[in-house]
Structure 1
Amino acid sequence: MADTRIENLVTSGTFSLDGGTWDVDNNVWIVGDDNEVVVIDAAHDADAIARAVGDRRLVAIVCTHAHNDHIDAAPALADLTGAPVLLHPEDLPLWRQTHPDRLPDGELADGQVLTVAGTGLTVLHTPGHAPGAVCVHAPDLDTVFTGDTLFAGGPGATGRSFSHFPTIIDSIRKKLLTLPPGTVVRTGHGDASTIGTEAPHLQEWIDRGH
Protein backbone atom coordinates (compact mmCIF):
# COMPACT_ATOMS: atom_id res chain seq x y z
CA MET A 1 0.00 0.00 0.00
CA ALA A 2 2.84 2.39 0.76
CA ASP A 3 3.85 2.29 -2.89
CA THR A 4 0.36 3.01 -4.22
CA ARG A 5 0.32 6.24 -6.17
CA ILE A 6 -2.00 8.36 -8.28
CA GLU A 7 -1.08 9.32 -11.84
CA ASN A 8 -2.96 11.84 -13.97
CA LEU A 9 -3.20 11.79 -17.76
CA VAL A 10 -5.10 14.57 -19.53
CA THR A 11 -6.71 13.60 -22.84
CA SER A 12 -8.65 15.77 -25.26
CA GLY A 13 -11.71 15.14 -27.38
CA THR A 14 -15.38 16.06 -27.54
CA PHE A 15 -18.45 15.71 -25.34
CA SER A 16 -21.77 15.26 -27.13
CA LEU A 17 -25.29 15.19 -25.66
CA ASP A 18 -28.72 16.50 -26.60
CA GLY A 19 -27.55 17.48 -30.08
CA GLY A 20 -24.62 19.63 -29.00
CA THR A 21 -20.88 18.93 -29.11
CA TRP A 22 -18.13 20.63 -27.09
CA ASP A 23 -14.34 20.34 -27.01
CA VAL A 24 -13.18 19.02 -23.63
CA ASP A 25 -10.05 18.02 -21.75
CA ASN A 26 -10.56 15.05 -19.42
CA ASN A 27 -8.64 13.82 -16.41
CA VAL A 28 -7.80 10.12 -16.65
CA TRP A 29 -6.72 8.76 -13.26
CA ILE A 30 -4.40 5.78 -12.90
CA VAL A 31 -4.19 4.34 -9.38
CA GLY A 32 -1.84 1.55 -8.32
CA ASP A 33 1.81 0.56 -8.05
CA ASP A 34 4.52 -0.86 -10.29
CA ASN A 35 2.59 -4.11 -10.77
CA GLU A 36 -1.10 -3.33 -11.12
CA VAL A 37 -3.40 -0.34 -11.59
CA VAL A 38 -6.97 0.69 -12.17
CA VAL A 39 -7.99 3.38 -14.65
CA ILE A 40 -10.75 5.77 -13.66
CA ASP A 41 -12.48 7.16 -16.78
CA ALA A 42 -10.97 6.00 -20.07
CA ALA A 43 -11.38 9.21 -22.01
CA HIS A 44 -10.68 9.80 -25.70
CA ASP A 45 -7.36 8.03 -26.31
CA ALA A 46 -7.03 4.32 -25.54
CA ASP A 47 -3.48 4.15 -26.92
CA ALA A 48 -2.23 6.99 -24.70
CA ILE A 49 -3.84 5.43 -21.64
CA ALA A 50 -2.38 2.02 -22.49
CA ARG A 51 1.06 3.60 -22.83
CA ALA A 52 0.67 5.21 -19.41
CA VAL A 53 -0.32 1.85 -17.91
CA GLY A 54 2.70 0.24 -19.57
CA ASP A 55 3.40 -3.36 -18.66
CA ARG A 56 1.40 -3.20 -15.45
CA ARG A 57 -1.71 -5.32 -15.07
CA LEU A 58 -4.86 -3.26 -15.55
CA VAL A 59 -7.28 -4.59 -12.95
CA ALA A 60 -10.34 -2.62 -14.08
CA ILE A 61 -11.56 0.33 -16.10
CA VAL A 62 -13.88 2.21 -13.75
CA CYS A 63 -16.43 4.60 -15.30
CA THR A 64 -17.61 7.42 -13.04
CA HIS A 65 -20.56 7.86 -15.42
CA ALA A 66 -21.43 7.18 -19.04
CA HIS A 67 -21.23 10.53 -20.77
CA ASN A 68 -19.36 9.84 -23.97
CA ASP A 69 -16.25 11.85 -23.08
CA HIS A 70 -15.64 9.59 -20.06
CA ILE A 71 -16.23 6.24 -21.78
CA ASP A 72 -15.41 6.70 -25.46
CA ALA A 73 -12.05 4.91 -25.16
CA ALA A 74 -13.16 2.27 -22.64
CA PRO A 75 -13.93 -0.61 -25.04
CA ALA A 76 -10.71 -0.08 -27.00
CA LEU A 77 -8.69 0.05 -23.78
CA ALA A 78 -10.38 -3.14 -22.64
CA ASP A 79 -9.47 -4.79 -25.95
CA LEU A 80 -5.85 -3.68 -25.58
CA THR A 81 -5.46 -4.83 -21.97
CA GLY A 82 -8.07 -7.47 -21.24
CA ALA A 83 -9.37 -5.42 -18.31
CA PRO A 84 -13.11 -5.32 -17.56
CA VAL A 85 -15.13 -2.14 -17.98
CA LEU A 86 -17.22 -1.40 -14.86
CA LEU A 87 -20.25 0.93 -14.83
CA HIS A 88 -23.19 1.56 -12.52
CA PRO A 89 -26.22 -0.06 -14.24
CA GLU A 90 -28.38 3.07 -14.00
CA ASP A 91 -26.12 4.68 -16.61
CA LEU A 92 -26.71 2.00 -19.24
CA PRO A 93 -29.10 4.23 -21.25
CA LEU A 94 -26.31 6.81 -21.60
CA TRP A 95 -23.71 4.12 -22.31
CA ARG A 96 -25.80 2.77 -25.19
CA GLN A 97 -25.80 6.19 -26.88
CA THR A 98 -22.03 5.81 -27.37
CA HIS A 99 -21.56 2.05 -27.49
CA PRO A 100 -24.83 0.46 -28.70
CA ASP A 101 -23.19 -2.85 -29.61
CA ARG A 102 -20.95 -3.37 -26.58
CA LEU A 103 -22.07 -3.59 -22.95
CA PRO A 104 -19.84 -2.98 -19.92
CA ASP A 105 -18.28 -6.12 -18.45
CA GLY A 106 -19.45 -5.61 -14.89
CA GLU A 107 -21.45 -3.39 -12.57
CA LEU A 108 -20.53 -0.89 -9.91
CA ALA A 109 -22.65 -0.63 -6.76
CA ASP A 110 -22.77 1.72 -3.81
CA GLY A 111 -20.44 0.52 -1.08
CA GLN A 112 -18.55 -1.87 -3.34
CA VAL A 113 -14.82 -2.00 -2.63
CA LEU A 114 -12.32 -2.52 -5.44
CA THR A 115 -8.77 -3.40 -4.43
CA VAL A 116 -5.63 -2.46 -6.34
CA ALA A 117 -2.09 -2.79 -5.02
CA GLY A 118 -3.49 -3.48 -1.56
CA THR A 119 -5.48 -0.23 -1.53
CA GLY A 120 -9.25 -0.21 -1.18
CA LEU A 121 -11.34 1.96 -3.50
CA THR A 122 -14.90 2.40 -2.25
CA VAL A 123 -17.63 3.10 -4.80
CA LEU A 124 -20.09 5.83 -3.80
CA HIS A 125 -23.27 6.07 -5.89
CA THR A 126 -23.73 9.83 -6.41
CA PRO A 127 -26.55 10.38 -8.91
CA GLY A 128 -27.46 13.81 -10.22
CA HIS A 129 -25.06 14.61 -13.05
CA ALA A 130 -26.10 11.24 -14.42
CA PRO A 131 -28.34 8.54 -12.87
CA GLY A 132 -25.50 6.06 -12.44
CA ALA A 133 -22.78 8.54 -11.53
CA VAL A 134 -20.31 7.28 -8.93
CA CYS A 135 -17.37 8.68 -7.01
CA VAL A 136 -14.46 6.52 -5.90
CA HIS A 137 -13.10 7.07 -2.39
CA ALA A 138 -9.56 5.96 -1.56
CA PRO A 139 -9.29 6.62 2.19
CA ASP A 140 -5.71 5.34 2.40
CA LEU A 141 -4.74 7.95 -0.20
CA ASP A 142 -6.87 10.76 1.30
CA THR A 143 -8.54 11.12 -2.08
CA VAL A 144 -11.94 10.93 -3.71
CA PHE A 145 -12.28 10.72 -7.49
CA THR A 146 -15.46 12.64 -8.22
CA GLY A 147 -15.89 12.40 -11.98
CA ASP A 148 -18.30 15.20 -12.88
CA THR A 149 -20.21 15.17 -9.58
CA LEU A 150 -18.08 17.72 -7.72
CA PHE A 151 -15.55 20.19 -9.12
CA ALA A 152 -13.34 22.89 -7.66
CA GLY A 153 -16.05 25.47 -7.19
CA GLY A 154 -19.24 23.47 -7.19
CA PRO A 155 -21.39 20.64 -8.49
CA GLY A 156 -21.30 19.20 -11.97
CA ALA A 157 -23.74 20.42 -14.62
CA THR A 158 -27.37 19.30 -14.43
CA GLY A 159 -28.86 21.15 -17.37
CA ARG A 160 -28.99 18.25 -19.81
CA SER A 161 -30.80 14.94 -20.20
CA PHE A 162 -30.60 12.36 -17.42
CA SER A 163 -29.46 14.97 -14.87
CA HIS A 164 -31.21 16.56 -11.87
CA PHE A 165 -29.98 19.41 -9.66
CA PRO A 166 -31.67 18.50 -6.32
CA THR A 167 -30.34 14.96 -6.71
CA ILE A 168 -26.71 16.03 -7.23
CA ILE A 169 -26.92 18.35 -4.21
CA ASP A 170 -28.29 15.48 -2.13
CA SER A 171 -25.49 13.18 -3.33
CA ILE A 172 -22.79 15.72 -2.54
CA ARG A 173 -24.24 16.52 0.88
CA LYS A 174 -24.65 12.90 1.99
CA LYS A 175 -21.79 11.08 0.27
CA LEU A 176 -18.98 13.62 -0.27
CA LEU A 177 -19.15 16.41 2.29
CA THR A 178 -19.19 13.77 5.05
CA LEU A 179 -15.66 12.71 4.06
CA PRO A 180 -12.67 14.08 6.04
CA PRO A 181 -12.02 17.76 5.20
CA GLY A 182 -8.48 17.01 4.03
CA THR A 183 -9.70 14.57 1.37
CA VAL A 184 -8.39 15.66 -2.03
CA VAL A 185 -11.11 15.98 -4.67
CA ARG A 186 -9.73 14.73 -7.99
CA THR A 187 -12.17 15.71 -10.70
CA GLY A 188 -13.14 14.60 -14.18
CA HIS A 189 -12.04 17.93 -15.65
CA GLY A 190 -9.85 20.72 -14.37
CA ASP A 191 -8.10 21.28 -11.09
CA ALA A 192 -8.27 19.38 -7.83
CA SER A 193 -9.72 20.73 -4.59
CA THR A 194 -10.45 19.39 -1.11
CA ILE A 195 -13.64 18.51 0.71
CA GLY A 196 -12.82 21.15 3.32
CA THR A 197 -12.51 23.81 0.63
CA GLU A 198 -15.82 22.96 -1.03
CA ALA A 199 -18.03 22.09 1.97
CA PRO A 200 -18.68 25.65 3.23
CA HIS A 201 -20.20 26.63 -0.13
CA LEU A 202 -23.08 24.13 -0.26
CA GLN A 203 -25.78 26.71 0.45
CA GLU A 204 -24.34 29.05 -2.18
CA TRP A 205 -24.62 26.28 -4.77
CA ILE A 206 -28.20 25.60 -3.75
CA ASP A 207 -29.12 29.28 -3.98
CA ARG A 208 -27.40 29.56 -7.36
CA GLY A 209 -28.77 26.38 -8.81
CA HIS A 210 -32.49 26.26 -8.22
Structure 2
Amino acid sequence: MTGTPGIGRLATSGTFTLDGGTWDVDNNVWLVGDEREVVVIDAAHDAAAIAAAVGDRRLKAIVCTHAHNDHVNAAGELSDATGAPILLHPDDEVLWAMVYGADRAFDPLRDGQVIEVAGTGLRVLHTPGHAPGAVCLYAPDLGTVFSGDTLFSGGPGATGRSYSSFDTIIGSIRDRLLVLPPETVVRTGHGDETSIGAEAPDLEKWIARGH
Protein backbone atom coordinates (compact mmCIF):
# COMPACT_ATOMS: atom_id res chain seq x y z
CA MET A 1 0.00 0.00 0.00
CA THR A 2 1.26 3.46 -0.91
CA GLY A 3 0.00 6.95 -0.24
CA THR A 4 0.45 10.55 0.85
CA PRO A 5 -0.70 12.00 4.19
CA GLY A 6 -4.41 11.39 4.52
CA ILE A 7 -4.61 9.24 1.37
CA GLY A 8 -3.59 5.63 0.87
CA ARG A 9 -3.73 3.50 -2.27
CA LEU A 10 -4.02 -0.27 -2.42
CA ALA A 11 -3.76 -2.04 -5.78
CA THR A 12 -5.92 -5.14 -6.22
CA SER A 13 -6.44 -7.46 -9.20
CA GLY A 14 -9.37 -9.43 -10.52
CA THR A 15 -11.85 -9.41 -13.38
CA PHE A 16 -14.44 -7.05 -14.83
CA THR A 17 -17.53 -8.72 -16.32
CA LEU A 18 -20.29 -7.06 -18.36
CA ASP A 19 -22.28 -7.76 -21.52
CA GLY A 20 -21.07 -11.38 -21.66
CA GLY A 21 -17.36 -10.54 -21.60
CA THR A 22 -14.73 -10.82 -18.87
CA TRP A 23 -11.45 -8.93 -18.69
CA ASP A 24 -8.51 -8.98 -16.27
CA VAL A 25 -8.16 -5.66 -14.46
CA ASP A 26 -6.03 -3.97 -11.82
CA ASN A 27 -7.94 -1.57 -9.56
CA ASN A 28 -7.00 1.28 -7.26
CA VAL A 29 -8.63 1.09 -3.83
CA TRP A 30 -8.36 4.45 -2.06
CA LEU A 31 -8.34 4.97 1.71
CA VAL A 32 -8.92 8.46 3.10
CA GLY A 33 -8.51 9.23 6.79
CA ASP A 34 -6.07 9.27 9.66
CA GLU A 35 -4.84 6.89 12.36
CA ARG A 36 -8.31 6.71 13.94
CA GLU A 37 -10.85 6.49 11.13
CA VAL A 38 -10.95 5.93 7.40
CA VAL A 39 -13.22 5.73 4.37
CA VAL A 40 -12.62 3.16 1.63
CA ILE A 41 -13.35 4.22 -1.95
CA ASP A 42 -14.10 1.30 -4.32
CA ALA A 43 -13.70 -2.00 -2.46
CA ALA A 44 -12.33 -4.08 -5.33
CA HIS A 45 -11.57 -7.80 -5.49
CA ASP A 46 -9.85 -8.51 -2.15
CA ALA A 47 -11.75 -7.77 1.06
CA ALA A 48 -9.05 -9.30 3.26
CA ALA A 49 -6.32 -7.09 1.82
CA ILE A 50 -8.51 -4.01 2.19
CA ALA A 51 -9.36 -4.93 5.79
CA ALA A 52 -5.65 -5.33 6.51
CA ALA A 53 -5.00 -1.86 5.08
CA VAL A 54 -7.74 -0.43 7.29
CA GLY A 55 -6.18 -2.15 10.30
CA ASP A 56 -7.61 -1.22 13.68
CA ARG A 57 -9.06 2.05 12.44
CA ARG A 58 -12.80 2.66 12.38
CA LEU A 59 -14.11 2.15 8.85
CA LYS A 60 -16.77 4.85 8.52
CA ALA A 61 -18.02 3.96 5.06
CA ILE A 62 -17.36 1.98 1.90
CA VAL A 63 -18.02 4.42 -0.93
CA CYS A 64 -18.59 3.11 -4.46
CA THR A 65 -17.84 5.44 -7.37
CA HIS A 66 -20.09 3.17 -9.46
CA ALA A 67 -21.39 -0.38 -9.38
CA HIS A 68 -19.42 -2.22 -12.05
CA ASN A 69 -18.49 -5.52 -10.45
CA ASP A 70 -14.76 -4.78 -10.25
CA HIS A 71 -15.47 -1.74 -8.06
CA VAL A 72 -17.96 -3.34 -5.66
CA ASN A 73 -17.20 -7.07 -5.54
CA ALA A 74 -15.41 -6.86 -2.18
CA ALA A 75 -17.82 -4.33 -0.66
CA GLY A 76 -20.27 -6.86 0.77
CA GLU A 77 -17.65 -8.98 2.52
CA LEU A 78 -15.87 -5.88 3.84
CA SER A 79 -19.14 -4.47 5.16
CA ASP A 80 -20.01 -7.75 6.85
CA ALA A 81 -16.61 -7.87 8.52
CA THR A 82 -16.59 -4.27 9.75
CA GLY A 83 -20.20 -3.13 9.99
CA ALA A 84 -19.44 -0.17 7.72
CA PRO A 85 -22.25 1.01 5.44
CA ILE A 86 -21.96 0.75 1.66
CA LEU A 87 -22.71 4.02 -0.16
CA LEU A 88 -23.74 4.09 -3.83
CA HIS A 89 -25.72 6.40 -6.08
CA PRO A 90 -29.16 4.82 -6.65
CA ASP A 91 -28.98 5.30 -10.42
CA ASP A 92 -26.55 2.35 -10.44
CA GLU A 93 -28.98 -0.03 -8.77
CA VAL A 94 -29.29 -2.10 -11.96
CA LEU A 95 -25.53 -2.72 -12.02
CA TRP A 96 -25.45 -3.39 -8.28
CA ALA A 97 -28.12 -6.07 -8.70
CA MET A 98 -25.92 -7.86 -11.26
CA VAL A 99 -23.42 -8.47 -8.45
CA TYR A 100 -25.56 -8.73 -5.32
CA GLY A 101 -29.12 -9.35 -6.50
CA ALA A 102 -32.06 -7.51 -5.03
CA ASP A 103 -31.59 -8.55 -1.41
CA ARG A 104 -28.37 -6.68 -0.53
CA ALA A 105 -29.05 -3.08 0.42
CA PHE A 106 -26.84 -0.01 0.13
CA ASP A 107 -27.20 3.53 1.44
CA PRO A 108 -27.96 6.04 -1.34
CA LEU A 109 -25.49 8.75 -2.23
CA ARG A 110 -26.82 12.08 -3.45
CA ASP A 111 -25.16 14.80 -5.50
CA GLY A 112 -23.67 17.45 -3.25
CA GLN A 113 -23.54 15.22 -0.18
CA VAL A 114 -20.41 15.62 1.95
CA ILE A 115 -18.88 12.57 3.60
CA GLU A 116 -16.84 13.58 6.62
CA VAL A 117 -13.78 11.60 7.71
CA ALA A 118 -10.90 12.66 9.93
CA GLY A 119 -11.76 16.34 9.52
CA THR A 120 -11.84 16.09 5.73
CA GLY A 121 -14.93 16.43 3.56
CA LEU A 122 -15.50 14.33 0.46
CA ARG A 123 -18.08 16.08 -1.72
CA VAL A 124 -20.12 13.82 -3.97
CA LEU A 125 -20.22 14.92 -7.63
CA HIS A 126 -22.69 12.92 -9.72
CA THR A 127 -20.84 12.32 -13.01
CA PRO A 128 -22.87 9.88 -15.12
CA GLY A 129 -21.63 8.52 -18.42
CA HIS A 130 -19.42 5.53 -17.66
CA ALA A 131 -22.33 4.33 -15.55
CA PRO A 132 -25.65 6.02 -14.73
CA GLY A 133 -24.81 6.45 -11.05
CA ALA A 134 -21.13 7.21 -11.41
CA VAL A 135 -19.80 9.73 -8.91
CA CYS A 136 -16.52 11.45 -8.18
CA LEU A 137 -15.44 12.49 -4.69
CA TYR A 138 -13.86 15.92 -4.39
CA ALA A 139 -11.69 16.63 -1.35
CA PRO A 140 -10.67 20.31 -1.58
CA ASP A 141 -8.68 20.13 1.66
CA LEU A 142 -6.54 17.40 0.12
CA GLY A 143 -6.37 19.02 -3.33
CA THR A 144 -7.69 15.88 -4.98
CA VAL A 145 -10.66 14.30 -6.68
CA PHE A 146 -11.27 10.56 -6.73
CA SER A 147 -12.61 10.02 -10.23
CA GLY A 148 -13.47 6.33 -10.33
CA ASP A 149 -13.76 5.45 -14.02
CA THR A 150 -15.03 8.87 -15.15
CA LEU A 151 -11.66 10.50 -15.92
CA PHE A 152 -8.23 8.95 -16.48
CA SER A 153 -4.81 10.12 -17.52
CA GLY A 154 -5.43 10.62 -21.21
CA GLY A 155 -9.18 10.90 -21.35
CA PRO A 156 -12.64 9.79 -20.28
CA GLY A 157 -13.65 6.36 -19.08
CA ALA A 158 -15.01 3.76 -21.48
CA THR A 159 -18.56 4.17 -22.80
CA GLY A 160 -18.87 1.27 -25.21
CA ARG A 161 -20.90 -1.03 -22.99
CA SER A 162 -24.41 -1.18 -21.52
CA TYR A 163 -25.69 1.71 -19.40
CA SER A 164 -22.96 4.08 -20.65
CA SER A 165 -22.97 7.17 -22.87
CA PHE A 166 -20.10 9.07 -24.46
CA ASP A 167 -21.99 12.36 -24.72
CA THR A 168 -23.06 12.09 -21.08
CA ILE A 169 -19.55 11.41 -19.76
CA ILE A 170 -18.14 14.32 -21.76
CA GLY A 171 -20.77 16.60 -20.25
CA SER A 172 -19.99 15.33 -16.77
CA ILE A 173 -16.27 15.89 -17.17
CA ARG A 174 -16.73 19.33 -18.72
CA ASP A 175 -19.29 20.60 -16.22
CA ARG A 176 -18.28 18.88 -12.97
CA LEU A 177 -14.54 18.11 -13.15
CA LEU A 178 -12.79 20.55 -15.48
CA VAL A 179 -14.20 23.43 -13.42
CA LEU A 180 -12.10 22.31 -10.43
CA PRO A 181 -8.77 24.05 -9.76
CA PRO A 182 -6.20 22.96 -12.37
CA GLU A 183 -3.78 21.77 -9.70
CA THR A 184 -6.34 19.26 -8.39
CA VAL A 185 -4.85 15.76 -8.43
CA VAL A 186 -7.08 13.19 -10.14
CA ARG A 187 -6.85 9.81 -8.42
CA THR A 188 -8.36 7.26 -10.74
CA GLY A 189 -10.00 3.87 -10.46
CA HIS A 190 -7.28 2.24 -12.56
CA GLY A 191 -3.76 3.28 -13.50
CA ASP A 192 -1.80 6.43 -12.80
CA GLU A 193 -2.98 9.69 -11.35
CA THR A 194 -3.17 12.90 -13.36
CA SER A 195 -4.39 16.46 -12.75
CA ILE A 196 -7.29 18.59 -13.90
CA GLY A 197 -4.86 20.99 -15.54
CA ALA A 198 -3.20 18.19 -17.49
CA GLU A 199 -6.48 16.86 -18.88
CA ALA A 200 -8.46 20.06 -19.50
CA PRO A 201 -6.74 21.09 -22.77
CA ASP A 202 -7.72 17.80 -24.45
CA LEU A 203 -11.49 18.12 -24.09
CA GLU A 204 -12.07 19.05 -27.74
CA LYS A 205 -9.79 16.18 -28.88
CA TRP A 206 -11.88 13.71 -26.87
CA ILE A 207 -15.08 15.04 -28.43
CA ALA A 208 -13.64 14.79 -31.96
CA ARG A 209 -12.34 11.27 -31.30
CA GLY A 210 -15.66 10.11 -29.94
CA HIS A 211 -17.82 11.11 -32.91
Aligned to 1:192: 193
Shift of the alpha carbon at 1:5? 0.6
Unaligned stretches of 5+ residues in structure 1:
none
What secondary structure, in the 3-state scheme, does the structure 2 residue paired with 1:180 have? coil
Shift of the alpha carbon at 1:12? 0.2
Partner Cα separation in structure 2 for residue 101 and residue 52 of structure 1: 29
Name segments (4+ residues, structure 1) moved above 6 Å: none
Unaligned stretches of 5+ residues in structure 2:
none
AA aligned to 1:10 is A
Deviations 1:4-25 (A, max 9, x none): 6100000000000000000000
Query: What is the aligned-residue identity percentage?
Result: 71
Aligned to 1:144: 145
AA aligned to 2:78 is L
Answer whether contact 1:4 1:117 (CA < 8 A) is retained. no
Normalised by the length of structure 2, the TM-score is: 0.97
Partner Cα separation in structure 1 for residue 98 and residue 156 of structure 2: 24
Answer whether contact 1:110 1:124 (CA < 8 A) is retained. yes
Aligned to 1:113: 114
Normalised by the length of structure 1, the TM-score is: 0.97
Aligned to 1:154: 155
Answer whether contact 1:65 1:132 (CA < 8 A) is retained. yes
- Alignment RMSD (CA, Å): 1.0
Cα distance change of structure 1 residues 27 and 121 upon mapping to structure 2, 3 Å threshold: same
Q: Are residues 1:103 and 2:133 paired?
A: no
Shift of the alpha carbon at 1:104? 3.5
AA aligned to 1:20 is G
Aligned residues: 208
AA aligned to 2:176 is K
AA aligned to 2:86 is V
